[in-house]
Amino acid sequence: MALACRVLGRALRVPEAHREPLCPVSRAGAATAVTPEQLRLNVALEVERGDQALSAAEALVQAQLPYDAASRAYYAAFHFARALCLAAGEAPVSHRGVAHLLSLLYVRTAVLPPDTSRLYAGLQRYRESADYDAAFVLDAAGTAQALDDAKVLVERCRTWLRSQALVD
């Protein structure tokens, strides 16, 4: 079952037809109770999207499509970072919010290594440049580095999620 949440103001709302699983909301919104089963499902949905994005990035590297590969590598990291945010009871509604919460909740508290923020920020810069800057040049080495960074970040997130019994 796919979960579709709409953003209303600063809070996430689940459409009436999909009341399970519930999405937690950001700090600015009212708290929404999420059962452990719903949390695991929400995390699993993000992990699934992250795994798909990572597979797509690998295929795009093989197809010699560096800009699309860099973008998908970022989205792999994004979905895994978002899964960590959900695990902490947060549902950021922006890419910037995901980066902030990843650093605040997991890097500053030494749950993840200090270079995690740098890896994530680098992937985000590659994605923005690849998607929006027509003059940006990304060579094979840069694409390979983006993919390697995404794999490192994904593995760190997956390891922590497994340690919390949130994914298999």
Write the DSSP string, 118-142. Answer: HHHHHHHHHHHHHHH-TT----HHH
Is 50 exceeded by the pLDDT of residue 86? Answer: yes
Q: What is the pLDDT of residue 33?
A: 81
Q: What is the pLDDT of residue 32?
A: 67
User: Which residues make Cβ contacts (< 8 Å) with residue 89, sequence separation at least 6?
Assistant: 24, 34
Is 60 exceeded by the pLDDT of residue 64? Answer: yes
Q: What is the pLDDT of residue 34?
A: 85
pLDDT level of residue 16 (50, 70, 90 thresholds) = very low
* Strand, helix or coil for residue 99: helix
Is 50 exceeded by the pLDDT of residue 110? Answer: yes
Pair 93, 12: CB distance under 8 Å: yes
- Average pLDDT, integer, range 140-154: 98
- Average pLDDT, integer, range 121-130: 97
Domain ranges (residues) in the chain: 35-163
- Percent of the chain whose pLDDT exceeds 90: 79
Q: What is the pLDDT of residue 122?
A: 97
pLDDT tens digits, 19-40: 344 455 445 554 568 899 999 9
Asked if the peptide bond before residue 21 counts as cis, ω within 30 degrees of 0, the response is: yes
Is 70 exceeded by the pLDDT of residue 5? Answer: no
Second-level CATH architecture of 35-163: Up-down Bundle (1.20)
Q: What's the predicted TM-score (pTM) here? A: 0.82
